Amino acid sequence: QVQLVESGGGLVQTGGSLSLSCAASGSLIIFTFNAMAWYRQAPGKQRELVASITNSGSTNYADSVKGRFTISRDNAKNTVYLQMNSLKPEDTAVYYCAASRRVVAGTRQYDYWGLGTQVTVSS
């Protein structure tokens, strides 16, 4: 059974920090994925990619979080992290962990998803 479990969400004031974790369990071993990512979805908005990290360690960030968020992975712990600093109210969303094992027409397919963790930033 494939499982991605997020943790670390919560309520924080503007300018504060939170660290999210995504632990893979069951038959999942994160180094078997070509990439892992964090997405978020705010109320009434579409889910958006926040950050991704490939097996080789290459990272990619949404413009809105560059310089504030950092994605990292620890293969030994089978865990991916998202360090979020200088948080803003517009960062409020449910944050999802996702994993990819395939690419279709040049686009990564994230087939494995966690249930999400709520991040709320108060003004």
Which sign does the torsion angle of CA 38, 42, 47, 50 carry? Answer: negative
CB 18 within 8 A of CB 10: yes
pLDDT tens for residues 13-64? 999 999 999 998 876 676 778 899 999 999 999 999 999 999 889 999 999 9
Looking at residue 27, the DSSP 8-state letter turns out to be T
Pairing status of strand 48-54 against strand 69-74: unpaired
Q: Please classify residue 71 by burial: count the beta carbons closer than 10 Å to its beta carbon, then call 0-12 exposed, 13-18 middle and 19+ buried.
A: buried
What does the mean pLDDT of the chain come to?
A: 93
